[in-house]
Amino acid sequence: MKLSFVIPAYNEEMTIKPLVEGIIEHTSPHDVQIILIDDGSTDSTFQSMLKVQSEHPQVKIIKFRRNFGKSRALSAGFHEADGDIIIMMDADLQDDPKEIPRMIEKMQEGYDVVCGWKKRRLDPWHKTFPSKIYNAIIRYLFHVNLHDINTGFKAFRKEVVPYIPLYGEMHRLIAISASELGFKVTEIPVEHHPRKYGKSKFGFSRFFFGAVDVYTVWFLSRHSQSPSYFFTKRGLMAIGLGILCLLGGLSGFYLDGEQLHYVFLGTVGSVFVGIGFLTIGTGLIAEILRREFAMKQDFSIIECVLSTKNSNLNPKD
């Protein structure tokens, strides 16, 4: 079994060598590929990668011209990965490589994605408290039994990778995307260490972008198959409300004379009717785009295909 590690790094010059050596130490029975992505670091991270590559031929380096973010870095790493199991890790040494054998063992139980749950997270409160709220909301919206959805320590089978959308802050929702496609997702508690080197890349702007991405995934998972239903329903509601406002405004205008509030009510009604038709039009456009996508025949939901010549019930072995 070959393992591919995909590790994005931004200004982590002190952690590269011990992380790579820790991975090699705890994966000795397996063929290992370690992909390090320098996401536009401004320190000596790239030089550290070159040095560790000279000592360990399993290491492959990808260097970005500037900082493009974690999702782009992971996407580039996944493109180069050729292992049977792909493991993503943060480069800050907070994830312990000794947990890797346990994650692989869990995958051998038949799971497609295994997340490392930082059950005892050693981070400041301004990171842990919002993360708990974030995870609770996602558990409610997507009905998944995961405690640490946006963990950077995950293992998944190579079959999962082509179907994971990676842009914006979508790397936090890899487990959700996989679960929505029917892959088997679970988690195990892992040891977490406080940061020793460098600075955290955490920023409060991530809350906003993360919330937008959560809504995007929720919307697509519920309405991507028939978007016109979603838009038409709301468009008709807006048109109905608009017609009621128009009728109220017109009847009041003729029965009670020209009063400002009747004019205002009629104007509001006209706006709602216009919004309703625009919403329905948006749904039709979305349906056309969905139809074009359907013509490409997305087979990501297929687990296996059986015939009398080949009745392999477990294609993942």
CATH code, domain carrying 88: 3.90.550.10
**Overall domain count for the chain:** 2
For residue 8, pLDDT over 90 is answered with yes
Instruction: List 87's β-bridge partners, or say none.
Output: 5, 155
Same domain flag for 78 and 149: yes
pLDDT digits (tens, 9 = 90+) for 39-79: 999 999 999 999 999 999 999 999 999 998 888 899 999 99
Q: Would you say residue 301 lies in a domain?
A: no
Same domain flag for 108 and 16: yes
For residue 306, pLDDT over 70 is answered with no
For residue 294, pLDDT over 80 is answered with no
Q: Kindly report whether the global pTM for this prediction surpasses the value 0.85.
A: no
Same domain flag for 127 and 273: no
Same domain flag for 241 and 176: no
For residue 130, pLDDT over 80 is answered with no
pLDDT digits (tens, 9 = 90+) for 175-192: 888 888 889 999 999 988
Give the whole-angstrom CA distance, residue 78 versus residue 165.
12
For residue 237, pLDDT over 70 is answered with yes
| Host domain of residue 275 | 227-294
Same domain flag for 286 and 188: no
Average pLDDT score over residue span 163-172: 80
Same domain flag for 192 and 94: yes
Same domain flag for 161 and 72: yes
Same domain flag for 181 and 235: no
Closest CA to 272 of 249, 254, 251, 253: 249
Give the whole-angstrom CA distance, residue 47 versus residue 13.
8
Q: Would you say residue 51 lies in a domain?
A: yes
Q: Which amino acid is at 124?
A: P
Q: How many Cβ atoms from other residues are within 10 Å of residue 122's Cβ?
A: 12
Task: Please say which residue of 223, 248, 275 terminates a domain.
Answer: 223
pLDDT digits (tens, 9 = 90+) for 249-281: 888 877 776 677 778 888 899 999 999 999 998
Q: Would you say residue 305 lies in a domain?
A: no
For residue 206, pLDDT over 80 is answered with no
145 confidence band (pLDDT: 50, 70, 90): confident
Give the whole-angstrom CA distance, residue 154 versus residue 175.
9
Task: Please say which residue of 223, 239, 265 terminates a domain.
Answer: 223
Same domain flag for 239 and 178: no
78-94 as b/e, with b when 16 or more CB fall inside 10 Å? beebebebbbbbbbbbb
Mean residue pLDDT across the chain: 83
293 confidence band (pLDDT: 50, 70, 90): low
Same domain flag for 87 and 209: yes
